[in-house]
Amino acid sequence: MTAPLKSVIYRSIPRPDPALVARAAKFGVADLHEGLGEIAGRMGLMSPAMVPIAPGQKLCGPAVTAWNFPGDNLAIHAALWVAEAGDVLVLTNGGGHQGALWGDVACTYAKQKGLAGTVVYGATRDVDAIRELGYPVWSTAVSVEHPKKRGPAAVNVPIVADGVQVEPGDLIVGDSDGVLVIPRALIEQTVAKAETRAAAEVEFRRRIGEGEVLFEILGMDEIIADLGIEIHDGAFNDAAS
């Protein structure tokens, strides 16, 4: 006989340094994705299916995780209960549309508590009301399907949301480009690399403004030469004519 799933709620998470979170919040997902590195950056990036409910939203904060049984959203209420100001709720039911995980009442309470936002791998409802609230929400689906509240449920345990592993206390960053998960151990080096990248892009823009060619600023001419790619001044069909 199979043992029943055991529900669990952990009230605390390992929190990153608030000063480091504030530094990270100055950058968008693109810069932090590049700063995280080619492999870890891809592993931490949620899919294009994870989209903001309203345009122009941003979030940055440590993850409070909530695993929900399909068709159930008991865990999100426990996560709301234990979360602190500045936290980001990361919710999953495996990504199905059965049972909306998030709605406007939960959103109202999250905003009142000062949470930084919510990321939903599953369904959100009441989207017009959520847009009016101005609270940042990303979701992979919209559905009003009624959720149960019976569990099983798990809060502040490692989860997988939209193909990305999320541990409590990982840094969650979101904007119009998507949602990125930065493992807590990699936050400092990721932010430092994003700062270096941003400074380099300021210099690129200055040089562009002075009339330089982007192809040469980025060293594309050298890369193409190293790869042995031929460059012809004419059109591809000049010989035929």
The sign of the torsion formed by the CA atoms of 129, 131, 135, 137 equals positive
Determine, yes or no, domain membership for 204.
no
* pLDDT (tens digit per residue) in 56-78: 999 999 999 999 999 999 999 99
Q: Give the structural domain span for 103.
A: 8-193
* pLDDT (tens digit per residue) in 192-235: 999 988 877 777 688 788 787 777 777 788 888 888 888 888 88
Determine, yes or no, domain membership for 212.
no
How crowded is residue 123: how many other Cβ atoms within 10 Å of its Cβ?
24
Determine, yes or no, domain membership for 234.
no
Determine, yes or no, domain membership for 220.
no
Nearest to 36 by CA among 45, 46, 23: 45
What is the domain-level CATH number for residue 142?
3.50.30.40
Determine, yes or no, domain membership for 24.
yes
How far, in Å, CA of 15 to CA of 185, rounded? 11
From the first residue on, what is the mean pLDDT of each consecutive set of 10 residues in the chain (241 residues)?
Answer: 68 95 95 92 95 95 96 94 97 91 96 97 96 96 91 94 97 97 96 86 78 78 84 76 56
Q: Which helix (H) or strand (E) holds 64?
A: strand 59-68
Buried b (16+ CB within 10 A) or exposed e, 51-82: bbbeeebebbbbbbbbbbbebbbbbbebbbeb
Determine, yes or no, domain membership for 54.
yes
Determine, yes or no, domain membership for 20.
yes
Determine, yes or no, domain membership for 164.
yes
Domain total for the chain?
1
Report which residue type is found at 144.
V
